[in-house]
Amino acid sequence: MDSCIDVAIIGAGIAGISATISLQREFKKKLNLVVQPAIAGCATDSAAHLYSLSTCLNPRWSRTHPSQHEILDYLIDLVDTNHLRPLIRLGHRFIEARWDPSTDRYSVDVEDVVSGSKTTSTFHVLMIATGIFPSARMLEVPGIDTFQGRLLHSAKWDSAIDLRNKKVAVIGSGPSA
């Protein structure tokens, strides 16, 4: 049996970060995180205390349903307090994972979003912690291809766009809508 268990955690939101903290505390083994981009400009429809780990409570929430920035600040504080930065691979996109029964390992393919280079690593354990909406899917409705304005998705928000004094149609529900 190997002396070290390699673990890949895809996603570094609250689920990925809390899993990493728990695994470090319990097993003190090698861990690797692959991070998906943050969703900008969002808030939560869940109460703030649900984003606080019982082992690292946040008494500083400004309101019951905080903004994405406030949640992100808390997650960054969790990462820094628990010394997770060396484990997080920013700027990488998860492509796929395959189980190899001959080696009892997962092969995980990721892409560097800047250079486009792809790498494959192997792990004993694979945890998917990307949340329920890991990728954006644009609405498909008749006439959308002839729309003259900008189309935005909350999962791929362009914060450089100024929406002041613009007519904006919002399709969807929840805090990102």
Could you read off the pLDDT of 140-168 as tens digits, one per residue? 888 888 988 888 877 677 778 888 898 88
Q: Quick check: 96 pLDDT over 80?
A: yes
Q: Quick check: 36 pLDDT over 70?
A: no
The pLDDT, as a whole number, for residue 163 is: 83
In terms of C-beta density within 10 A (0-12 exposed, 13-18 middle, 19 or more buried), how is residue 111 classed?
middle
Confirm if 37 and 21 have CB atoms less than 8 A apart: no
Q: How many CA atoms, within 13 angstroms, populate the side-chain half-sphere of residue 68?
A: 14
Going by pLDDT thresholds of 50, 70 and 90, the confidence category of residue 177 is very low
Q: Give the closest residue to 9 by CA, choosing from 117, 154, 121, 102.
A: 121
| Distance of alpha carbon 31 from alpha carbon 111, whole angstroms | 18
The pLDDT, as a whole number, for residue 109 is: 93
Q: Which amino acid is at 41?
A: G
Going by pLDDT thresholds of 50, 70 and 90, the confidence category of residue 173 is low
Percent of the chain with pLDDT over 90: 16
Task: Compare 98 and 138 and report the one with higher pLDDT.
Answer: 98
Average pLDDT, integer, range 117-131: 89
Could you read off the pLDDT of 8-18 as tens digits, one per residue? 888 888 888 88
